[in-house]
């Protein structure tokens, strides 16, 4: 009897530990990957679905009429079906949630091929906590809580690698095919890494790389569709638009800071390689090789096809591996003595300071010296202990900067705006504590009392984080939910709408095609006519003094800090060839003379939050002024006073 009770108690302890781990992971991921709504690239895919469902309204948006990328993915058809059945807002939230769950499950499956127990837990926590960016300008990241095909293709690719290490090649091939039809630019490099892993045990697999290159060159020389782009470059006009709108496409143009995080990731992979098993070492080498090859190809051979395929995206797999292996790397260094522990401190400082190339390079280089140079073990104890004050200074300084930016930009805003701010949901202190906990449990599993405490805390945190996962600001939530019956559809009848300050989803509230937005320029990579028309309209806005010419699209990702709106500028845009039918602008951006020209003012119940015209600081928009270009054309321009 007692033996049976002991067995039951042990089984119960294992079960409770697993529940605690799952609940803790759910809480961490929900906290650090909050749902922001139909924003960023989700606008492209949800907008594509709306355009297909509403061909006479949103479907007339010139970015959707000249869409050169959707046909390469199965995802738009899936999104269209869900948007038709559920509506844009619920469909986007469902896709985002399911995609994130699948990503975490796929990552857990892959890492479980190499780790068990607390080491696996530590890896999954580090994946949630550490920076997920890759490539220049920190534009893209993996495991996004967004309604895009990237997160699904990443999940399928990671699961495929897991099956590959299990020796189940047919299942791996099927998942790679699924990933490729969802997002070939994301899945292609991982499939190449999978081939490299196989080639390390069977050299015949290496033949696929020269054969693939020869086939591509042959198709290009034969002038086959798409392949022929490999041997030509974008013409100067097209290239100028791509460099203006999307400089992250060209690694040769990346700013120095863009390489800082990559240095931290490369250092972590190099140090984790020493602690890894042989199969994991093969994966690390394959991911690093594919990343280097992809970035180098994009930088050194920027043909039209190379620019469109964006091989630098291959860095995402190495980026994810580096984050997931940080706990293994830190635990291994910790066991190697004082020099190794000092290396942990400076490596952590490198990740914290990854916004600065100098800081990241210095700390990463010092970590490598402390970890790999034998003489570092003989350094005086006081010298090794200096690594810890350095970590605290860097962490404290970066934390203070983060809090200062939050206070400066959000002062005076309502509580819901503060809670939806990214810094409020994922502070540096929270991230640092979670990484430290992940490293601690990787070193040694917690005791029974600690497990019980963690189980209770994880359950509470999981419920709280689940309730807080939907972190959409009030205006975004309203826009998403109102998209099926856009509130301005009856007012803005006929023609395109220029919504000043919007990044490209105004059709959620207007039900009308956009005249110009930041989003529309993204598709210019695959369609020259779209790129040139986007640039022409941008120049119209610049000439009318409604948008700054020097706006850095890649760096700010928005139209923050734009000039005040003048009536003369509105008339100039309306009178331009193919001008908009309507213009909508925040009241806070209008000069008094322009406000007098409005046909109506829309004051939504949920106020929007945008950057003030002077830039940087956030402000609430009290309402939106609506201008009719037909009415503006009937009034002569005011004669400036002398």
Instruction: Enter the pTM of the model.
Output: 0.90
* pLDDT over 80 (residue 564): yes
Structure tokens at 331: 């635990």
pLDDT (0 to 100) of residue 412 = 57
H or E segment and range at residue 102:
helix 88-111
Residues 148, 140: contact at Cβ < 8 Å? no
From 495, 543, 496, 501, select the one nearest 518 (Cα to Cα).
501
pLDDT (0 to 100) of residue 635 = 62
* Burial zone of 583 (CB within 10 Å; 0-12 exposed, 13-18 middle, 19+ buried): buried
pLDDT (0 to 100) of residue 5 = 46
Residues 13, 451: contact at Cβ < 8 Å? yes
pLDDT (0 to 100) of residue 7 = 47
Residues 625, 632: contact at Cβ < 8 Å? no
H or E segment and range at residue 601:
strand 600-602
Q: How far is CA 249 from CA 23, 205, 298, 453, in A?
A: 39, 30, 8, 48
pLDDT (0 to 100) of residue 10 = 45
**CA 292 remoteness from chain centre:** 20
> Tokens 């819901």 correspond to what residue?
416
Pairs from 79-82 (Cβ < 8 Å, separation ≥ 24): 79/45, 79/46, 79/48, 79/49, 79/147, 80/48, 80/49, 80/52, 80/53, 82/49
* pLDDT over 90 (residue 580): yes
- pLDDT tens track for 97-148: 999 999 999 999 999 999 988 888 889 988 988 999 898 777 889 999 999 9
Give the dihedral of Cα atoms 433, 438, 442, 448; nearest 10 deg.
80
* pLDDT over 50 (residue 556): no
**Distance (Å, whole) CA 490 – CA 494:** 10
State the pLDDT confidence band at 428, using cuts at 50, 70 and 90: low
pLDDT (0 to 100) of residue 448 = 64
| Number of residues written out for the chain | 642
* Burial zone of 65 (CB within 10 Å; 0-12 exposed, 13-18 middle, 19+ buried): middle
CB atoms within 10 A of CB 330: 30
Residues linked to residue 610 through DSSP beta bridges, in sequence order: 619
Per-residue b/e over 219-257, b at no fewer than 16 CB within 10 Å?
Answer: ebeeeeeebebbeeebeeebbebbebbbbbbbbeebeeb
State the pLDDT confidence band at 638, using cuts at 50, 70 and 90: very low
Which region among 357-361, 440-444, 486-490 has the lowest average model confidence (pLDDT)? Answer: 440-444
- pLDDT tens track for 162-198: 999 999 999 999 999 999 999 999 999 999 999 999 9
Q: DSSP letter string over 344-389?
A: HHHHHHHHHTTT-HHHHHHHHHHHHHHHH-GGGGGS-HHHHHTHHH
**Distance (Å, whole) CA 144 – CA 137:** 16
Hey, is 259 helix, strand or coil? Answer: helix
Structure tokens at 358: 């100098």
| 225-245 average pLDDT score | 92
Strands 600-602 and 133-134: unpaired
């Amino acid at each position: 009897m007692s033996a049976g009770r002991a067995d039951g108690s042990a089984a119960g302890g294992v079960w409770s530990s697993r529940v605690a781990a799952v609940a803790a992971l759910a809480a961490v991921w929900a906290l650090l990957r909050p749902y922001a709504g139909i924003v960023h690239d989700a606008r492209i895919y949800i907008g594509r679905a709306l355009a297909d469902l509403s061909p006479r309204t949103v479907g007339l948006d010139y970015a959707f009429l000249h869409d050169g990328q959707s046909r390469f993915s199965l995802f738009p058809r899936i999104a269209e079906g869900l948007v038709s059945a559920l509506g844009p807002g619920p469909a986007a939230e469902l896709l985002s949630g399911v995609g994130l769950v699948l990503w975490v499950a796929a990552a857990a499956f892959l890492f479980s091929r190499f780790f068990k127990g607390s080491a696996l837990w530590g890896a999954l926590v580090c994946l949630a906590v550490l920076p997920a960016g890759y490539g220049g300008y920190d534009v893209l990241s993996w495991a996004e809580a967004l309604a895009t095909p990237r997160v699904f293709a990443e999940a399928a690719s990671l699961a495929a690698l897991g099956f590959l290490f299990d020796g189940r090649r047919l299942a791996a091939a099927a998942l790679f095919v699924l990933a490729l039809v969802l997002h070939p630019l994301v899945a292609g490099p991982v499939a190449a890494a999978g081939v490299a892993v196989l080639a390390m045990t069977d050299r015949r697999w290496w033949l696929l790389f020269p054969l693939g290159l020869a086939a591509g060159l042959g198709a290009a020389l034969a002038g086959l569709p798409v392949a022929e782009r490999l041997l030509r470059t974008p013409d100067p006009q097209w290239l100028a638009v791509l460099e203006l709108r999307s400089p992250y496409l060209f690694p040769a143009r990346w700013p120095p800071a863009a390489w800082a995080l990559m240095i931290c990731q490369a250092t972590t992979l190099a140090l984790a390689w020493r602690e890894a098993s042989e199969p994991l070492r093969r994966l690390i080498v394959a991911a690093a090789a594919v990343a280097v090859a992809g970035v180098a190809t994009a930088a050194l051979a920027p043909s039209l096809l190379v620019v469109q395929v964006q091989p630098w995206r291959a860095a995402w797999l190495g980026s994810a591996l580096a984050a997931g292996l940080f706990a293994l790397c830190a635990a291994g260094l910790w066991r190697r003595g004082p020099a190794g522990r000092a290396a942990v401190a400076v490596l952590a400082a490198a990740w914290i300071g990854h916004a600065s190339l100098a800081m990241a390079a210095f700390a990463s280089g010092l970590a490598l010296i402390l970890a790999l140079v034998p003489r570092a073990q003989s350094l005086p104890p006081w010298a090794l202990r200096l690594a810890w004050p350095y970590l605290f200074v860097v962490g404290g300084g970066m934390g203070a900067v983060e809090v200062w930016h939050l206070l400066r930009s959000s002062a005076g805003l309502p509580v819901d705006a503060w809670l939806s701010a990214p810094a409020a949901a994922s502070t540096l202190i929270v991230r640092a504590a979670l990484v430290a906990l992940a490293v601690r449990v990787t070193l040694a599993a917690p005791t029974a009392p600690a497990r019980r405490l963690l189980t209770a805390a994880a359950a509470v945190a999981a419920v709280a984080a689940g309730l807080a996962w939907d972190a959409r600001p009030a205006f975004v939530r309203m826009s998403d939910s109102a998209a099926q019956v856009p509130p301005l559809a009856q007012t803005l009848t006929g023609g395109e709408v220029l919504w000043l300050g919007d990044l490209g989803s105004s059709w959620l509230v207007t039900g009308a095609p956009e005249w110009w937005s930041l989003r529309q320029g993204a598709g210019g990579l695959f369609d020259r006519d779209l790129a040139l028309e986007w640039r022409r309209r941008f120049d119209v806005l610049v000439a009318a003094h409604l948008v700054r010419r020097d706006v850095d699209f890649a760096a700010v990702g928005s139209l923050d800090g734009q000039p005040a709106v003048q009536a003369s500028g509105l008339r100039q845009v309306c009178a331009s060839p193919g001008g908009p039918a309507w213009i909508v602008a925040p009241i806070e951006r209008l000069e008094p003379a322009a406000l007098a020209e409005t046909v109506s003012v829309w004051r939504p119940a949920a106020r929007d939050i945008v950057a003030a015209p002077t830039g940087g600081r956030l402000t609430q928009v009290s309402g939106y002024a609506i201008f009719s270009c037909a009415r503006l054309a009937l009034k002569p321009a005011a004669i400036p006073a002398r």
